[in-house]
Amino acid sequence: MPESGADAPEVERAFRWTGEFADPSLEDAYARASWTETRARLHVVLIAVYIYVGWAVFDFLLIGPGWAFAALTAGRLATLAAILIALKRFARYDDHRKFMFCAMATQALVAIVAPLSLVLGNVDFSASLLAIVVVLFAFYISLPTGLASTLAISAALSFTFVVICPWLADVPLAALGQIGALFAVVNAIGVELVRTANRLRRTGFLTLMRQQELYDQLKREVEVRREAEQAVRSTEESFQSLFYAAPLPISLIDPADYRLVQANIAALKLFGISGEDAIGFDVRAFFAEEDLDARLDRLLVSGRAGVPVEFRLKRRDGSLIWALVSAATVQFRGRTVLLIGIQDVTARHKEAETLREARDLATAASRSKSEFLANMSHELRTPLNAIIGFSEALERELFGPVGNPRYREYAEDIHDSGVHLLSLINDILDLSKIEAGHFKLHEDETELDRLVQAATRIVRHRAQQSNIAIECDLPAPPLFLVADERALKQVLINLVSNAVKFSPEGSAVRIETQVCAESLRIAIIDKGIGIAENDIPKALTPFTQVDGSLSRAHEGTGLGLPLAKHLTELHGGTLTIESAVGVGTTVIVNLPLSRIVGRDASSKETAAI
């Protein structure tokens, strides 16, 4: 690991003074990786320990049998036992702490037994000094223990030898100082050797780790690249399979010259060309458009947004078809191409054309019907007015008595039937005008109370015949509206007459008016037979009745509610029905507040306040 420049402080902080890693996890990883080497080093030391134990023979010769020899031999055997336990019992890295403890015990026992052996055996001083120096170097170089413990034991051994030197020989004080300095130098050299070796080993370990990481990264990248290439091959194979088997016509086009690169079976069949003729074919020949370049540019812009463009295309046999064409830019075999999707909408186009023609015919027929009904209404009105007028003259005997009373009754029936038929014709005429868009409102100020009273006056005779009361709840002071008086009165007459028609005898029909926050609300409420919820749309359809059978109990043409709804909407309002079978019906007419005279000004004043 480099130690120069700006990286040197980083390197220094990465190691302890012993040369070991400062990071415990990293140191543990190194120790685990170098465990085999550690055990091998201790195996080498085991050979020296065997020699060390065999030195007991010299102890016996120098000391002789006795307690001293026994003690030294026991120490030597204990040293052998400690190193054998470390190698045999704690051979796995999981027991590395116990392993190191036994190695330190071996080191400590040697440090104790060696000086005692020299003292008790009266070994020559020079030989003793050399032996201690060799032991110290053996401690630093051979034993795989920690530097801190090795330094502590070596320092203790050095100090002990200096202390026992007077017992070995007559050593001057100056010589003792030199011996101490020698031991200090030996220990310093040993420490530096171990520190340097530790750092070199761990630097190599880091290098191997980085190389392994690079190798793993390269392996992963190669694997990813191989998977990507395999995925590309699989994707291309899948694309080709899907492309050719797709039921919709699909083709690949070179955007530079619009020549066909590839087309699926459906596209070849649509245009009536073979696979050999398709390759390199200019697809612009298929487009039957005048401003083709502009349309194709639009296709490219719209296609990127996912919006198809409708084109008229010409097949090889000259027949024309309509198609929705969509385009997208894709990469195909290393180049950019346009993926063109074609949806044949010729049938849908013809259906739309048929529907358009049918709609035009229906509109024309409806217009003809409305015009016919309007003309017929005018044609029928003239004789009906004469019938009503002459029957009324006979009924009232304006020109003298008619003689037989039955003629008068007949004249009254003729008059009532004529009035009813004229009312029906008026409704048909108004509805025809509304549907044809020819009905015009003649708006003027009119009093709401007067409109309600005029409507109830017309219906009251029929209500009295059925003993039905008509109740009115009108606001005070009276409201004035800007509306078509005849049209609005017709709305009220239709709604009140309907309520009376479908109410039981002895009941009541109620008319309520109320100025709400957003509209003028006019409600006609009855307690009649009611309408089922799913029949309400039918009741608002012209010429349709909820009870459509020929034996229905109530007369009518089904125009009252639809006409009232149309006339209300012409005033900018809405007509809604709330009803339940057997409970009754409430028809609500909501007119805009702007129809109330003076309402806009008062609203502005209120807002200002």
Upstream peptide bond of 405 is cis (omega within 30 degrees of 0):
no
CA nearest 501: which of 453, 450, 545, 454? Answer: 545
Residue 493 is encoded by which pair of tokens?
A: 């007459």
| Closest of 488, 501, 512 to residue 558, by C-alpha | 501
What is the pLDDT at residue 410?
Answer: 63
Instruction: State pTM to two decimals.
Output: 0.40
Residue 254 pLDDT exceeds 70: yes
Mean pLDDT (whole number) for 292-306: 64
Q: Tell how strand 469-473 and strand 335-344 pair up.
A: unpaired
State the Cα–Cα distance between residues 474 and 448, nearest whole angstrom.
8
Check: CB of residue 339 under 8 Å from CB of residue 327: yes
pLDDT of residue 511: 92
More confident residue, 318 or 23: 23
Residue 306: predicted pLDDT: 56
User: What pLDDT does residue 509 have?
Assistant: 92
Which region among 92-101, 216-225, 368-377, 478-487 has the lowest average model confidence (pLDDT)? 368-377
Q: How confident is the model over 184-206, as a mean pLDDT?
A: 85
* Dihedral over Cα of 230, 233, 235, 238: its sign: negative
Q: How far apart are CA 332 and CA 263, in angstroms?
A: 13
Q: Which helix (H) or strand (E) holds 392?
A: helix 346-396
Q: Are 98 and 144 in contact (CB under 8 A)?
A: no
Q: In the predicted model, what is the mean pLDDT of residues 437-457?
A: 85
CA distance 281 to 268: 12
pLDDT band at 8 (very low <50, low <70, confident <90, very high): very low
**445 strand-pairing partners:** 482
Please tell me which residue, 454 or 397, carries the higher pLDDT value: 454
113-128 CB burial, b ≥16 within 10 A, e <16: bbbbbbbbbebebeeb
pLDDT at 3: 44
How confident is the model at residue 252, as a pLDDT? 78
Count Cβ atoms within 10 A of the Cβ of residue 161 and give its class: 0-12 exposed, 13-18 middle, 19 or more buried.
Answer: buried
Which tokens go with 276?
């050999």
Q: Which two tokens stand for residue 241?
A: 């399979």
**What is the pLDDT averaged over residues 104-123?**
79
Q: What is the pLDDT of residues 554-602, one digit of tens each?
A: 555 667 888 888 889 988 999 999 988 888 999 999 999 999 887 654 4
Give just the sign of the alpha carbon dihedral 50, 55, 60, 63: negative
Which phi and psi angles does 260 have, rounded to 5°?
Answer: -75, 125
Q: Give the tens place of pLDDT for each residue, 58-78.
A: 778 878 888 888 888 898 899
pLDDT score recorded for residue 586: 93
The pLDDT of residue 5 is 44
Sort strands 519-526 and 320-332 into parallel, antiparallel or unpaired: unpaired
Question: At 483, which helix (H) or strand (E)?
Answer: strand 480-484
DSSP conformational letter for 509: E
Q: Average the pLDDT over 326-332 and give the result.
A: 75
Q: Which of 102, 106, 108 is nearest to 160 (CA)?
A: 108
Q: Which residues pair with 575 in a beta bridge?
A: 589
Rounded CA-CA distance 230/600 in Å is 77
Helices and strands: H and E segment counts in the chain = 19, 12
Tell me phi and psi for residue 345, to 5 degrees. Answer: -115, 25
Q: Please give the domain boundaries of the chain with CATH numbers for all domains.
A: 7-216 (no CATH), 246-344 (3.30.450.20), 352-435 (1.10.287.130), 441-608 (3.30.565.10)
Among residues 276, 272, 298, 266, the alpha carbon closest in space to that of 286 is found at: 272
Q: Please, which pLDDT band fits residue 384 given cuts at 50, 70 and 90?
A: low
Q: What is the pLDDT of residue 510?
A: 93
Distance separating alpha carbons of residues 550 and 530, to the nearest angstrom = 20
Q: Where does the pLDDT of residue 608 fall: very low under 50, low under 70, confident under 90, or very high at 90 and above?
A: very low
Work out the average pLDDT over 394-411: 65
Q: How far apart are CA 497 and CA 459, in angstroms?
A: 6
CA-CA distance, 73 to 51, in Å (whole number)?
A: 13
Distance, CA of 588 to CA of 512 (rounded, Å): 9
**CA distance linking residue 406 with residue 390, whole number of Å:** 16
On whether the CB atoms of residues 526 and 584 are closer than 8 A, the answer is: yes
Cα–Cα distance list, 546 to 115, 434, 542, 543, 557 (Å): 127, 23, 11, 10, 11
Question: Which residue in the block uniquely carries the two structure tokens 């079976």?
Answer: 265
Task: Answer whether residue 36 shows pLDDT above 80.
Answer: yes
Query: If you average pLDDT over each of 113-122, 131-140, 190-199, 264-273, which comes out highest?
Result: 190-199
Across the range 382-400, mean pLDDT stands at: 66
Amino acid type, 169: A
pLDDT averaged over every residue in the chain: 77
Helix (H) or strand (E) holding 70: helix 67-88
Please give the residue that has the higher pLDDT: either 210 or 162: 210
